[in-house]
């Protein structure tokens, strides 16, 4: 007999390369405007607009390799991102040593209902309706940092049906991974199981049902997702 008055949902979790054990996810933080060229394409100024954070839901992460085109939108964009998974946390974590809290890395897509996000921006409303919908974060397997290290440079790219859409390099991030961890920990208490999506390079664009997205991050792996 459990203590819960209804059946408890399964805790969201990610598969981990090299083991059949899984990484349980507690929170999902996402950074916005972390590549200058993407800030410009979204109408911002990379010299004036500091990056900022929003959240998705842990159960938005999806490893199925299929992205169901969501309801209530006709302009759904891909955003290729690196997912950073934390094995420990804390408050006010210094930049030096922040990487000691990282368990591993994965390729992830921050799928976005751009039309609904745009409306929300205009009306000064929160972004969840554009960002935190069902299966909005297709994710590849986690690669432990003990196997791949802490990638700070390397090509990132996303193609749709074989045509190039997004290209960049991890070293173009305005805020590096240790800085993101440190910044977030000044505002929130970070903990084991938290993941951070580290922002997208330029080239975000719409997808349609039937499209195949192929994402890769040098040193972290690749991810193929079909829009259904």
Instruction: Rule CB under 5 A: say whether 62 interacts with Mn ion.
Output: no
Closer CB to Mn ion, 200 or 216, in the complex = 200
CB 137 within 8 A of CB 112: no
Tokens of 143: 């690669």
Give ∠ CA 115-120-126 in degrees, rounded to 5: 130
Distance (Å, whole) CA 159 – CA 226: 12
Instruction: Rule CB under 5 A: say whether 136 interacts with Mn ion.
Output: no
Of residues 216, 193, 205, the one with CA closest to residue 81: 216
Instruction: Rule CB under 5 A: say whether 39 interacts with Mn ion.
Output: no
Distance (Å, whole) CA 144 – CA 57: 22
Quote the least distance from Cβ 19 to Mn ion, whole Å.
Answer: 28
CB 227 within 8 A of CB 205: no
Tokens of 221: 């792996």
Instruction: Rule CB under 5 A: say whether 204 interacts with Mn ion.
Output: no
Given the rule CB under 5 A, which of 102-110, 170-178, 179-187, 220-228 is the region that contacts Mn ion?
102-110
| Environment class of 94 (CB within 10 Å of its CB; exposed 0-12, middle 13-18, buried 19+) | exposed
* C-alpha torsion sign, points 125, 127, 130, 132: negative
Quote the least distance from Cβ 168 to Mn ion, whole Å.
Answer: 13
CB 71 within 8 A of CB 206: no
Residue least distant from Mn ion (Cβ): 110
Distance (Å, whole) CA 18 – CA 181: 26
Quote the least distance from Cβ 137 to Mn ion, whole Å.
Answer: 10
Closer CB to Mn ion, 98 or 204, in the complex = 204
Instruction: Rule CB under 5 A: say whether 60 interacts with Mn ion.
Output: no
Distance (Å, whole) CA 195 – CA 191: 9
Instruction: Rule CB under 5 A: say whether 200 interacts with Mn ion.
Output: yes
Instruction: Rule CB under 5 A: say whether 73 interacts with Mn ion.
Output: no
Closer CB to Mn ion, 136 or 200, in the complex = 200
Given the rule CB under 5 A, which of 20-28, 107-115, 142-150, 211-219 is the region that contacts Mn ion?
107-115
Closer CB to Mn ion, 16 or 36, in the complex = 36
Closer CB to Mn ion, 16 or 73, in the complex = 73
Given the rule CB under 5 A, which of 34-42, 55-63, 171-179, 200-208 is the region that contacts Mn ion?
200-208
Interface residue with Mn ion, options 79, 98, 184, 223 (CB under 5 A) = 79
Quote the least distance from Cβ 113 to Mn ion, whole Å.
Answer: 12
Binding site for Mn ion (CB under 5 A): 79, 110, 200
């Amino acid at each position: 007999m459990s203590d819960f008055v209804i059946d408890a949902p399964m805790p969201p979790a990610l598969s981990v390369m090299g083991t059949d054990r899984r990484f349980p996810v507690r929170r999902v933080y996402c950074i916005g405007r972390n590549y200058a060229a993407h800030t410009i394409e979204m109408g911002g100024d990379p010299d004036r607009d500091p990056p900022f954070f929003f959240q998705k839901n842990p159960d938005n992460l999806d490893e199925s390799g299929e992205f169901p085109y969501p309801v209530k939108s006709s302009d759904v964009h891909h955003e290729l991102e690196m997912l950073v998974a934390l094995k420990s946390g804390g408050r006010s974590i210094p930049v030096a040593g922040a990487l000691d809290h990282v368990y591993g890395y994965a390729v992830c897509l921050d799928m976005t209902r751009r039309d609904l996000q745009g409306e929300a921006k205009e009306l000064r409303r929160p972004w969840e309706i554009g960002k935190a919908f069902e299966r909005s974060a297709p994710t590849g397997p986690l690669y432990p940092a003990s196997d791949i290290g802490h990638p700070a440079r390397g090509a990132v790219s996303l193609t749709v049906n074989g045509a190039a859409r997004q290209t960049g390099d991890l070293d173009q991030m305005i805020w590096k991974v240790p800085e993101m961890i440190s910044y977030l920990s000044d505002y929130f208490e970070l903990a084991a199981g938290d993941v951070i999506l580290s922002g997208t390079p330029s080239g975000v664009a719409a997808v349609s049902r039937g499209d195949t997205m192929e994402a890769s991050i040098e040193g972290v792996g690749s991810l193929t997702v079909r829009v259904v």
